[in-house]
Amino acid sequence: MYKGTTLSVDVVDGMAGVAELCFDRQGASVNKLDRLTLQELNAALDAVAANNSVHGLLVSSAKDSFIVGADIFEFVEMFGKSEDDLAAYNAGCSTVFTRLDDLPIPTVAVLDGLALGGGFELALAADYRVMADSAQVGLPEVSLGIFPGYGGTVRLPRVAGMATALDWIVSGASKTAKAALEARAVDQVHPREQAREQALTLLHAAIAGEEDWRARHRRRLGGVESDAAALAQARKTAGRNARHLPAALAAVELIERAAAEGRDQALALESRAFARIAKTQAASSLVGIFLNDQFLKKKGKEYARIARPVRQAAVLGAGIMGGGIAYQSAVRGTPVLMKDIAQKQLDIGKSEAAKLLNRQVEGGRIGRDKADAVLAAIRPTLDYSGFGAVDVVIEAVVENMGLKKKVLAEVEALTGNDAILASNTSSLSIAELGADLRRPQNFVGMHFFNPVPVMPLVEVIRGPRTSPEAVATTVAYAAAMGKTPIVVKDGAGFLVNRILTAYILGFVGLVRDGADFEQVDAAMEAFGWPMGPAYLQDVIGMDTASHVVEIIAAAHPGRMDAGANNAVSLMAGLGRFGQKNGIGFYRYEPDPRGKPVKSPAADTHDILSRIQPHGRRAFTPAEIVERTMLPMVIEAALCLEDGVAESAQEVDMALILGLGFPRHIGGALRYADFLGLRHVVERCDALGEADPLYRPTARMRAMAAAGQTYF
């Protein structure tokens, strides 16, 4: 009846008049709802509607999944439309789904794999849904800063009730077949091998009049019963992050407003509301993050082609950091030797791995047998026995150049010619660390962020003599550990800490000029950071933070100048190291679980007054944001221009994954695009006369003049 590139329609039972609309995108492993698919779906529905011998339609997939959602790569162009044009475009796409809804014959969708986003919205337009017991359904759009726009906010309440729709759309979580059946979002669940046959049986029953499919269609055309309790709960949940991530709350308000409307009016409301949300900064940023992640995965596959296999790893230096690295390797399937010179440190490292595994067991994520096997794959040792067989050694001793060089030379003499040596350093030069090695081509930096099991980023630092194979092997190993590796060029602070230093220098400049550090923290947390800069220094440790800032600032004289007595170094000099000793900018006391709880430190303001030559003065939240964020933008631009990272995507993703940069902002360079480089340059010029930290680069000026963007 119809044959396209993404789907086809064939008669599968001529006697009963059953046709099957099967999604099967040629040359791809999954089905997605892009422009081509929607065009072909429209044409296929034309063919079905025109054929009077078709009395029922089965909607299926030939892939392992049903439809995984829309083509997010098309969102950038789509979201670039004006709000009115986007609403009209979205309404046109939604109309295709409505055509399926309005077919004058019964329809059954068989979901024998993932049916997410637009894929599930399409299934909701069918009269019945039969689901494989191994499949999952869901509407995850809020993770992209939007909500369902192809009828999901309209049809799910009318199919499964308002409470279910609110819960599923606000959470964005995928649902199992059991949960979907209990919520009445699907009608039957069967083993995967039986799902299609059972769906055909149901369709035959509907054609024969044994199922009242017309009543189901009528329910989808009308309004939906309101649920005050569910609305209140959804509004409370969605409201927690609504300031920066407005999509969930907008979806709640839309569902409430459309409840009394008929389907078509409700769909019109959905298209208009969707367009408004799609034009927000959060939607642009979160879609951008998704696309950046796809970019990194593609680069990772390119590295994997030349990477050497890693069957056995080793960590030098135990303790909390070494134990975290060893755990991450073992839990992802690569056994690891953990070497230290002190039994106490080995015990701490092994205990850290055991603690992490126990949490996994208690949370039901792995079984005890698996946890025991992972722990057994971490072998503590006080000597170098077994190091001749390792493929990668991660050196994680204390941040001291002399000690690291000594340890690296020792282990190089005991490992094979192809073994990779990787230093977990946050600030030391890879070139200098590897200067005396006999095989510098096998030496890289591998900077993990703390705490290792939580932070997803690993900076893979390419030294001046590092081989492409060593970089590729380290990238592949980091990815196998479940991390997101980003390759950066050697240099003080590498990428993330270099940009972070600019942010901290903006903060200490504010304090020097009279800002209240607590007001600075409040303004930056309101902006979207998980913690303000003063609190962050307390968490990092003032001694560590002061040392890193000094190293990085010294490497960029004339632009970065922390000053001899800035707020961070002052605190460090007074022994106020932050959480590690209970006092920094704030005071800390452990709660019953040992977690440090922050409270005001009464003397901090008086201490800081020593370095505020003009006394205290008030800054607006906008001024605070500008004074701290503009240095980050400039330093991110410089890192891109200097080749520290190869792309704007990698710069921004490193900040998001390594620092917790606000996701709704999308990264420093995407933030520059949002503000507009012309505006950035103007504001920098207003501040740059007094402080070189705010001087934009020549390329930034040229881009601003040409109206260019980083993305």
Positive or negative: CA dihedral 632, 633, 637, 643: positive
Same domain, 603 and 652: yes
Same domain, 7 and 87: yes
Pick the closest to residue 478 from 640, 646, 660, 334 (CA basis): 334
- Provide the domain count of the chain: 3
Q: What is the pLDDT of residue 223?
A: 95
Residues 512 and 363 in one domain: no
- Rounded alpha-carbon distances, angstroms, from residue 290 to 72, 77, 99, 634: 8, 15, 31, 24
Mean pLDDT by 10 residues, the chain (711 residues): 96 93 96 97 97 97 96 94 97 97 98 97 98 97 97 98 98 97 98 97 97 95 96 97 96 98 98 98 97 96 96 94 95 96 94 93 92 96 95 95 96 96 93 96 96 95 97 98 97 95 96 97 97 97 91 90 88 96 96 93 96 95 98 98 97 97 97 97 89 95 98 95
Q: Does one domain contain both 209 and 330? A: no
Say if CB 513 and CB 614 are below 8 A apart: yes
470 lies in the same domain as 343: yes
Inside any domain, residue 299: no
pLDDT of residue 6: 98
Q: What is the DSSP-derived secondary structure letter of residue 483? A: -
CB-facing half-sphere around the CA of 258: CA atoms within 13 A: 32
Domain end marker among 279, 299, 319: 279
CATH number at residue 341: 3.40.50.720
Residues 134 and 218 both lie in one domain: yes
Q: What is the pLDDT of residue 450?
A: 87
Q: Which pLDDT value is given to residue 341?
A: 94
CA angle 65, 66, 71 (to 5 degrees): 95
The pairing of strands 313-316 and 336-339 is: parallel
Q: Which domain holds residue 445?
A: 310-482
Q: What is the pLDDT of residue 319?
A: 86
Q: How many CB atoms lie within 10 A of CB 363?
A: 8
In a domain, residue 390? The reply is: yes
Give start and end residues of each alpha helix (H) in 208-280: 213-221, 228-239, 247-258, 263-278
Q: Single out the residue of 295, 300, 359, 289 nearest to residue 324, CA to CA.
A: 359
Cβ–Cβ < 8 Å for 384, 411: yes
User: What's the pLDDT score for residue 677?
Assistant: 98
Based on the residue annotation, tell me whether 190 is a catalytic residue of this protein: no
Residue 285 lies in a domain: no
- Give domain status of residue 284, yes or no: no
Alpha carbon distance 653, 371 (integer Å): 31
pLDDT of residue 14: 87
- Give the model's pLDDT for residue 563: 79
Domain boundary among 454, 482, 510: 482
Task: Kindly list the distances between the CA atom of residue 112 and the CA atoms of 93, 132, 138, 194, in Å, as whole numbers in the listed order.
Answer: 24, 5, 14, 9
Q: Of 457, 482, 507, which residue constitutes the final position of a domain?
A: 482
Answer yes or no: is 645 within a domain. Answer: yes
For residues 267 and 337, membership in a common domain is answered with: no
Phi, psi at 316, each rounded to 5°: -100, 115
- With respect to residue 302, please indicate whether it lies within any of the assigned structural domains: no
Residues 557 and 462 reside in one and the same domain: no
The confidence score (pLDDT) of residue 565 equals: 83
DSSP string, 679-702: HHHHHHHHHHTT-GGG---HHHHH
**CATH number of domain containing 674:** 1.10.1040.50
CATH number (domain holding residue 131): 3.90.226.10
SS3 content of the chain, % helix, strand, coil (to 5): 55, 15, 35
Is residue 303 in a domain?
A: no
At residue 562, the pLDDT reads: 79
Pair (236, 340) in one structural domain: no
Residues in CB range of 434: below 8 A, 6 or more apart = 408, 440, 443, 463, 465, 466
CA distance 85 to 374: 54
**Within-domain flag for 87:** yes
Looking at the fold, whether 130 and 38 belong to one and the same domain comes out as yes
Longest dimension (CA), the chain: 92
- Written as six digits, the tokens of 660 are 């917790």
Catalytic, out of 204, 447, 556, 664: 447
Tokens 């005991």 correspond to what residue?
414
Do 438 and 514 fall into the same domain?
no
| Ramachandran category for residue 111: left, alpha or beta (phi over 0 → left; psi -120 to 50 → alpha) | beta
Does residue 401 share a domain with residue 256?
no
